[in-house]
Amino acid sequence: MMRLPWFDYRAPRSIAEAAKILAGEGPQAMLIAGGTDLLPNMKRRHQTPKVLVSLKGIPELKKVSNGSGIVFGSGLTLSEILNIEKTPTALRQATAQIATAHLRNMGTLGGNLCLDTRCTYYNQNYEWRKAIDFCLKKDGATCWVATASKRCVAVSSTDTAPALIALNASVVLTGSSGEREIPVDALYRNDGIEYLSRRPDEILTAIKIPQKNFKSTYWKLRRRGSFDFPILGVAVALRFSSGNIIQDARVALGAVASRPFLVEKASEYLKGKALSDDVIAEACAMIASRAKPMDNTDMDLYWRKEVADDFAGYALRELRGDDMRAMRMRIARQELTG
């Protein structure tokens, strides 16, 4: 049995109190929301904070507000996000495919956005990692995926981040010295260790989605259709004019680098066009060319790169109005294999 290391537990009642504790305790403290990622990581000794600052008892983090867009408190659980009527489609589809119902009842949207990066050589117990002299991400000096690499290439595995990037969402980060708002895209860095631009004393307090009549969708590749981390995520949000011409487009990829990111070239290319088969094929080639998966997660690396083109096509065809339900079922039934 893997046991948790000892830690002190703090339970603040407001964001201000949590920020004060975090600033006072310094790097030995970590935030905990649902704990569905952090506690298994602590059991495997990936993270060994001396102090856990719980966000569970902070009512401000549970708020939802509607105006010209929608604002979600970061402490809403994934199940709660699914129960909110105005949750945009791409976010709903991404959230519904995270883990299992039990984990979605505990896991939060904020925790999902701050999820640790993953790698075959890292997501192992302490003894396994020790047997290979650890790895660059934790306790070692070598990246076993790319041995010449000075940078850790662990992969971003959050499902909601690409969906939120496509939806042009931003996050609010609150620290003891104030608050700032940045696009979700800017929350991430392409570094498996320092994967967030969040400062250590900051709490991700809210997620803001400007609703601008976008039609959106999220397509996820994973080994098991029942539950599994993504090994490819394609999110697309499009705004159409009355003549079905694309006025605004945002395409984002997840799980193919250490950060989720906006595919700028394809997003720009789609603007002003109708979704003909030729336009879809051209956009898919642009999207797939940006997918650079590494050999550090499930399924064959080259196959995962190849299917990025297919998945982008499924997303665009669905937004064109094609009936893609049979393809979604095939993916859920694991009929695609690499």
Ligand X SMILES: Cc1cc2nc3c(=O)[nH]c(=O)nc-3n(C[C@H](O)[C@H](O)[C@H](O)COP(=O)(O)OP(=O)(O)OC[C@H]3O[C@@H](n4cnc5c(N)ncnc54)[C@H](O)[C@@H]3O)c2cc1C
Q: Decide the pairing of beta strands 246-254 and 51-54.
A: unpaired
Q: Give residues 107-146 in contact with ligand X (rule: CB under 6 A).
A: 107-108, 110-112, 114-116
Q: Decide the pairing of beta strands 232-240 and 215-221.
A: antiparallel
- For position 91 contacting ligand X by CB under 6 A, the verdict is no
Closest to ligand X by CB, 279 or 336: 336
Stretch that binds ligand X, among 100-108, 176-184, 208-216, 276-284 (CB under 6 A): 100-108
Give the number of residues in contact with ligand X, rule: CB under 6 A: 33
**DSSP for residue 274:** -
Closest to ligand X by CB, 129 or 222: 222
CB 233 within 8 A of CB 263: no
Please report how close the Cβ of residue 69 comes to ligand X at its closest, in angstroms.
Answer: 20
Closest to ligand X by CB, 171 or 316: 171
Nearest to 71 by CA among 144, 158, 141, 170: 170
Task: Report d(CA 184, CA 162) in Å as an integer.
Answer: 9
Q: What is the CA radius of gyration of the chain?
A: 20
In the numeric block, which tokens belong to residue 260? 């989720």
41-77 burial, b at 16+ Cβ within 10 Å, e below that, comes to bbbbbbbebebbbbbeebebbbeeeeeebbbbbbbbb
The site map against ligand X for 59-78 (x = CB under 6 A) is ---------------x---x
Task: Report d(CA 313, CA 162) in Å as an integer.
Answer: 16
Torsion 217-219-220-226 (CA) sign: positive
At 187, is the secondary structure helix, strand, or coil? helix
Among 10, 20, 23, 40, which residue sits at the site for ligand X (rule: CB under 6 A)? 40
- For position 98 contacting ligand X by CB under 6 A, the verdict is yes
Stretch that binds ligand X, among 20-28, 81-89, 96-104, 309-317 (CB under 6 A): 96-104
Closest to ligand X by CB, 252 or 284: 252
Nearest to 230 by CA among 250, 253, 214: 253
Q: What residue number has its CB nearest to ligand X? A: 111
Closest to ligand X by CB, 111 or 192: 111
The site map against ligand X for 200-239 (x = CB under 6 A) is ---xx----------------------xxx----------
Please report how close the Cβ of residue 137 comes to ligand X at its closest, in angstroms.
Answer: 14
Among 11, 23, 103, 279, which residue sits at the site for ligand X (rule: CB under 6 A)? 103
- For position 22 contacting ligand X by CB under 6 A, the verdict is no
**DSSP for residue 334:** T
The site map against ligand X for 257-296 (x = CB under 6 A) is ----------------------------------------
CB 276 within 8 A of CB 127: no
| Residues engaged in binding ligand X (CB under 6 A) | 30-38, 40, 55, 74, 78, 98-99, 103, 106-108, 110-112, 114-116, 157-159, 203-204, 227-229
